[in-house]
Structure 1
Amino acid sequence: MVFGESGATEGFRTSNGTWARIERRNRWKINSAVWVGLEAAATIKNVRKPEWFQATAWIDEAREVAWRADEVELISAPIVGDLATMATLPDAWWTAVRESLAALGAHQTERVGMTQAHLTKRIGEIFPGVDTTVDEWRTAHADVHPGNLSVEGHLIDWEDWGAAPRGLDAATLWQSALPDPAVAARVQREFAADLQTRSGRLSQLLVCANAIRIAARRGQPTPLSEPAKAAAELLLAELGS
């Protein structure tokens, strides 16, 4: 059995050779879009991800929680997990991820992965006065990092996907790679078409602001915050030019 980071999910292999994901939430705190994210992702084509088969949900009156069980394709490929592994991945992996994110970006959806208001608020908290107007929107996974990618290029954890600034997925992957300059540079090269747009730069500035804000809240630098500060200086210059 595999437990989610928040302690609200468990996953395990079934006797049918599939994967079961069990989730529980306080019944008065269910975000309807997140609750059905995995199921809704079944409509997306040409993206490497677990196939969704079926689901059931029920209310637990005694515990005041709602439960949901999803049955999906079992992905036997290991999760990338860390930058050391990511640094060793072949060119084919990068191509697969890039193609999946391109196909996802072209998918039409009414779901929202990130709003203009959220991006403006988070950037403004650290970098006041920046024009944060996004000029290009795409459909995004909205949580791309080594823990949500398999070594065969599968994208997992589809709770939060939806429309977002172009380049958000590449930016979140780049943020996770900041402690390793070589891997971060590889992300920049592979996803340059998105990251070098205005919306891509704003997405990068957003993740830099998030890293800096977290470090400030903790009262000490983190592996992400110092490289984020250096990167933010360049991004601010580019956005101001």
Structure 2
Amino acid sequence: MFTAPEPEVRDRMLAARDHAHALLGLDLAAGGEVWGYAGRTLSGPTDAPGGPAWLRLVSEVAGKAGGKLWEGPKDAEASVPAVVPPPRLIGLADWSADGFGYRGELYELIAAPPVCRSPVAVGDIQLPDAWWQDLHQALDHLATVPTSRQAVREQYIRRRVPEFTGVTPGAITFTTCHGDLHWANLTGPTLTLMDWEGWGSAPVGYDAANL
């Protein structure tokens, strides 16, 4: 989670959020603004026809609105089973304006908060044994999901591992992973795996190592 961007970006994204509400038939709810890096995303609670929900707005410069990160949440909704579990994507709206492409993603509201407000654990993490069992099972189920998406390329692993460890990797086994598993992307004490932009294939154990 990041601070609000410079005023020009903030104003543009807030206007785009209003447009997303109109397209998806939503009403703004109290709860503040949750910003992504440099104002690329803006998220927050909203009121949908079916009840409380969560709206995530993502933007890119026109011509770059697409690709792996852009389509990640939509692909996850189609491919990742609820047993994992990801948040349910219940609405989607795309449009372009003023040289930017936008996507509004409407999710079911997850009641449980993130385990931490930052990716790195702060203090002593206290979670029940059942939560850890659920996480193990979630990653096991995710590993079986077929996908052509790549979370981490083999060339990257073969370049970076020797830089940091001095060891040249042997054969690398890949499986399907979340790709950005950290404490702010996990809820507790009820488990949900958030933020599915970058999921895809990665070395076995990559998610656990990243966490």
Q: Distance in 1 between matches of 2:89 and 2:103?
A: 14
**1:210 maps to which residue?**
none
Root-mean-square deviation (CA, aligned residues, Å) is 1.7
Report the CA distance between 1:26 and its aligned residue.
1.5
**2:101 maps to which residue?**
66
Query: Per residue, is there more helix in 1 or in 2?
Result: 1
Report the CA distance between 1:124 and its aligned residue.
3.0
**1:4 maps to which residue?**
36
1:144–1:86 distance in 2 versus 1, CA, 3 Å: farther
Q: Distance in 2 between matches of 1:147 and 1:85?
A: 14
**1:121 maps to which residue?**
159
Identity across matched positions, percent = 31
Spell out the pairing of 1:152-171 with structure 2 (5 A cutoff). Answer: 152-171=190-209
**1:91 maps to which residue?**
129
Q: Distance in 2 between matches of 1:31 and 1:166?
A: 27
Cα displacement string for residues 82-130 of structure 1 (whole angstroms, at most 9, x for unaligned residues): 63566211101111111111100111111111111011122233344x3
Q: Does residue 20 of structure 1 match 2:49? A: no
Spell out the pairing of 1:27-106 with structure 2 (5 A cutoff). Answer: 27-42=62-77, 43-45=79-81, 46-60=83-97, 62=98, 64-81=99-116, 83-84=121-122, 87-106=125-144
**1:137 maps to which residue?**
174
Cα displacement string for residues 30-71 of structure 1 (whole angstroms, at most 9, x for unaligned residues): 4511101111101211212201112111122x2x21111011
Q: Distance in 2 between matches of 1:71 and 1:33?
A: 19
Report the CA distance between 1:131 and its aligned residue.
2.4
Amino acid at match of 1:44: V
Cα displacement string for residues 196-235 of structure 1 (whole angstroms, at most 9, x for unaligned residues): xxxxxxxxxxxxxxxxxxxxxxxxxxxxxxxxxxxxxxxx
Amino acid at match of 1:70: E
Q: Distance in 2 between matches of 1:165 and 1:36?
A: 22
Query: Per residue, is there more strand in 1 or in 2?
Result: 2
Cα displacement string for residues 131-152 of structure 1 (whole angstroms, at most 9, x for unaligned residues): 2244311100011110100011
Higher relative contact order (CA 8 A, sep 6+): 2
Amino acid at match of 2:175: R
Q: Distance in 1 between matches of 2:124 and 2:66?
A: 32
Secondary structure, aligned partner of 1:37: helix
TM-score, L = length of structure 2: 0.75
Does the aligned pair in 1 maintain the 2:65–2:102 contact within 8 Å?
no
What 5-or-longer segments of structure 2 have no aligned partner? 1-32
Secondary structure, aligned partner of 2:139: helix
Q: Distance in 1 between matches of 2:127 and 2:105?
A: 30
What 5-or-longer segments of structure 1 have no aligned partner? 174-241
